Amino acid sequence: MRKVIHIFAILLISFSCRKSDYYIEIESVITDLGGGTGTVTWTKEKSYIIDGFVFVNDGQILTIEKGTVIRAKTGQASLASALIVARGGKIIAQGTQEEPIVFTVEGDDLQGSVSIDASGLWGGLIILGNAPINAEYGEGFIEGIPISEPRGIYGGEFPEDNSGILEYVSIIHGGTNIGEGNEINGLTLGGVGRKTIIDHVEVISNADDGIEFFGGTVNCSNLAVAFCDDDLFDFDEGYTGKCQFLLGIMHDTKGDHMAEHSGNSDGYLSSDYTVPVIYNSTFIGHSEGENYMMSFDFISGGVYRNSIFLSNAQGIAIEYTPEFNSFLQIENNQLAFENNIFYNIASNYEDSIFVLHPDNGSSENEQNFLSSYFSEAQNIIEDPGFEYVHTPIKLLPSSTEFENLAAYSSDWFEKVSYKGAFGSNNWLEGWSILWKEGIVE
């Protein structure tokens, strides 16, 4: 009887999934032989195991039911496993607070069998779209996928492109290295468009960046990233979306920046600069070390308002060179920090928080400008009133009454009366692994 069920399952999938030659065995191992997943629904009644690179091809829709757990086989280089939504494909992963969707490594029982800070055990989730990117030909080839795979191309001319939905999703223990320092981010968004919905997503313990945006226009809310080996958030290649309610927590002994901002490191630079607009973030950094809290390079910009920045030994580094001058983006109103709270950043003095690098290319006038800019932009140095040194981290401020709030620049943003990512409610409660593990409350 077991053999009959196995054959029936293969036949059912082969005939019901358009242009698909992946298969699900009895143990629900998913392998892509070139045809992608097909248009299919993964349900919480099955335990799915991704084996190798599995694509949602152009024209296909992968729906993942709330409460579903997707695990991936371990392996490096050609044996890496990841789920990739190609241009024109869609993922509909709508978890709920009560039943989130989880991506993790094979063997993780979500009950402590894998340490919370274990990283690099599988690949990650990659979503590629048709929205604009800052690249010479309007397209790029996403990092983390072998150059021989044509489904790794992203970017296009459609800012309103729609790659699907991610809601109440946890991605943990990813970041496999496929060779020559080419790791996979926890969540990679390449040229993802504005009609894609991304909210209530967390990435924990990824060996590369937590979430990286390669161009695109997608707006995101309620994102949490913690304990990654590289950057928590990385904004590149002309990303111009909006974000609100971001939480970042650095590991005590590893990781680089809380946020990195870049243009196009290949040397192609157009006026399509990287300028994310971000409100209501809470970033908790390294109390020791030489890594900057944030960096701005390759003429990138970024706008941060009504946010809280805590505990980092170095401040915000702004590139100042003849070729790649992010400092000029301040004058262009494309790089701004306004109405934020800083505490225990650098030496905890105004003139130490913004710095130019390399410092041998600037004059005293530019550094003096940055020192005065801090207070003129209504940033303050003040204890925000919540516990963040020991676990559990208490993310809710002692008071939700804040003065000098920056006005919200778009109707897309939720208009709230507090600074940082949390008011009187913790939006991580119930669904987040950070919350379930007792790391935050």
pLDDT, one tens digit per residue, over 344-388 is: 999 999 989 998 887 655 567 777 788 888 999 999 999 998 888
pLDDT bucket at 180, cuts 50 / 70 / 90: low
Q: Is the pLDDT of residue 25 over 50?
A: no
The token duo for 402 is 């804040």
Q: How far apart are CA 248 and CA 203, in angstroms?
A: 10
pLDDT bucket at 15, cuts 50 / 70 / 90: very low
Element (H, E) at 16: helix 2-16
The token duo for 232 is 């928590």
Q: How far apart are CA 393 and CA 270, in angstroms?
A: 42
**What's the whole-model pTM score?**
0.92
Instruction: Write down the architecture of domain 38-436 according to CATH.
Output: 3 Solenoid (2.160)
Higher-confidence residue: 270 or 411?
Answer: 411
Q: Is the pLDDT of residue 231 over 90?
A: yes
pLDDT bucket at 82, cuts 50 / 70 / 90: very high
Mean pLDDT score across all residues of the chain = 89
Task: Provide the percentage of residues in the chain whose pLDDT is more than 90.
Answer: 71
pLDDT of residue 137: 87
Strands 69-72, 140-141: pairing kind: unpaired
Q: How far apart are CA 206 and CA 120, in angstroms?
A: 6
Tell me how far apart the terminal alpha carbons of the chain are, to the nearest angstrom: 49
pLDDT bucket at 293, cuts 50 / 70 / 90: very high
Q: How far apart are CA 438 and CA 143, in angstroms?
A: 33
Provide Rg for the chain, Cα atoms.
Answer: 22
pLDDT bucket at 2, cuts 50 / 70 / 90: very low
Quick check: bond before 100 cis, omega within 30?
A: no
Q: How far apart are CA 386 and CA 335, in angstroms?
A: 28
Q: Is the pLDDT of residue 155 over 50?
A: yes
**Who contacts 115 (Cβ-Cβ below 8 Å, separation ≥6)?**
none
Q: Is the pLDDT of residue 121 over 60?
A: yes
What mean pLDDT comes out for the span 252-263?
91
Would you say 210 and 255 are in contact if contact means Cβ atoms under 8 Å apart? no
Higher-confidence residue: 13 or 280?
Answer: 280
Instruction: Report the candidate in 399, 439, 383 with the shortest Cα–Cα distance to residue 250.
Output: 439
Which residues of 180-319 form beta strands (DSSP E)? 187-190, 197-204, 211-214, 220-226, 233-236, 242-249, 259-261, 277-284, 294-296, 302-305, 308-312, 316-319
pLDDT bucket at 79, cuts 50 / 70 / 90: confident
Angle at CA of residue 162, ends 212 and 146, nearest 5°? 45
Q: How far apart are CA 102 and CA 94, in angstroms?
A: 11
